[in-house]
Amino acid sequence: MSTVIEVEHLHKRYGKTVAVDDVSFTVGQGEIFGILGRNGAGKTTTVECLAGLRTPDGGTIRVLGRDPLRDHAEVTRRVGVQLQDGQLQDRLRVGEAMWLYASFYPDPADPAELLDRLGLTGRERTPYAKLSGGQKQRLSIALALVGRPRIAVLDELTTGLDPHARRDTWDLIEAVRAGGVTIVLVTHFMPEAERLCDRIALIDDGRVVHTGTPAELLARAGESTLEDAYVTLTRRTA
């Protein structure tokens, strides 16, 4: 399996706050790689650095062999990003947003088909401001995938989705991965990590405390559920 993402000794601070403190990991082609950790652990900052949306203070990042900052245009063409708070303009309609994003890429997916997979058919003329929270979330997933990315970075993929929409989204992500796409998934939802992730990095206080398959995490923590393993491995002793 070839390596498509390499993060080495990543550091990022905001003023006095150290958000990412020496994070290293690699992701292989076609993997679903989960990033788990408590609120404020540095997950979003890490994936924003991967996507070239933030400038690290130290370390190196290679995405498909490229530097996300220096080779920004090339990385952006190949990496689809669904970020938290990925707000669009209120008056932009669902269909307009999809066609606009599709036009940025040389070989986009069919917007109508993606909207259908995400349960948004019939919403093409709805302005962004009039979508429900879950519909906004589903649109952000569609926008992350419309460019047929080689890597999709999904930050809190199914937060706010109802159980049907969540399961449909999981099926979609598995189908996307079956097509060879690598997925980086930030999640707080343990059933999601259990169902989707091949490997997981647990991040705490800006540091990777464990990387491994879900089974390796369970074994290391001596627990039988991922949630218990997560809590055990990120428990603070102070």
Query: What is the DSSP-derived secondary structure letter of residue 130?
Result: G
- The nearer residue to ligand ATP, 43 or 210, going by C-beta atoms, is 43
Amino acid at 169: T
Residue 45 engages ligand ATP in binding (rule: CB under 6 A):
yes
Alpha-carbon gap, residue 60 to 50, rounded angstroms:
10
Closest contact distance (angstroms) between CB of 186 and ligand ATP is 7
CA dist list (Å): 120 to 28, 138, 190, 227 = 32, 8, 26, 32
Choices 14-22, 123-131, 170-178, 218-226; region in contact with ligand ATP by CB under 6 A? 14-22
Residue 14 engages ligand ATP in binding (rule: CB under 6 A):
yes
Instruction: Give the one residue of 39, 73, 106, 224 binding ligand ATP; rule: CB under 6 A.
Output: 39
Choices 33-41, 99-107, 128-136, 190-198; region in contact with ligand ATP by CB under 6 A? 33-41
Number of residues forming the site for ligand ATP (CB under 6 A): 11
Instruction: Give the one residue of 5, 23, 44, 176 binding ligand ATP; rule: CB under 6 A.
Output: 44
- The nearer residue to ligand ATP, 5 or 202, going by C-beta atoms, is 202
Alpha-carbon gap, residue 235 to 171, rounded angstroms:
32
Residue 27 engages ligand ATP in binding (rule: CB under 6 A):
no
**Number of residues that make up the chain:** 238
* 238: Cβ contacts below 8 Å, ≥ 6 apart: none
- The nearer residue to ligand ATP, 45 or 82, going by C-beta atoms, is 45
Closest contact distance (angstroms) between CB of 147 and ligand ATP is 24
Alpha carbon 212 to its chain centroid, in Å, reads 18
Q: And the tokens for 80?
A: 């689809």
If DSSP codes are grouped into helix, strand and coil, which group holds residue 214? Answer: helix
Residue 41 engages ligand ATP in binding (rule: CB under 6 A):
yes
Choices 37-45, 66-74, 98-106, 174-182; region in contact with ligand ATP by CB under 6 A? 37-45
End-to-end C-alpha distance for the chain, whole angstroms: 40
Phi–psi pair at 207, nearest 5 degrees: -125, 145
Positions that interact with ligand ATP (CB under 6 A)? 14, 17, 19, 37, 39-45
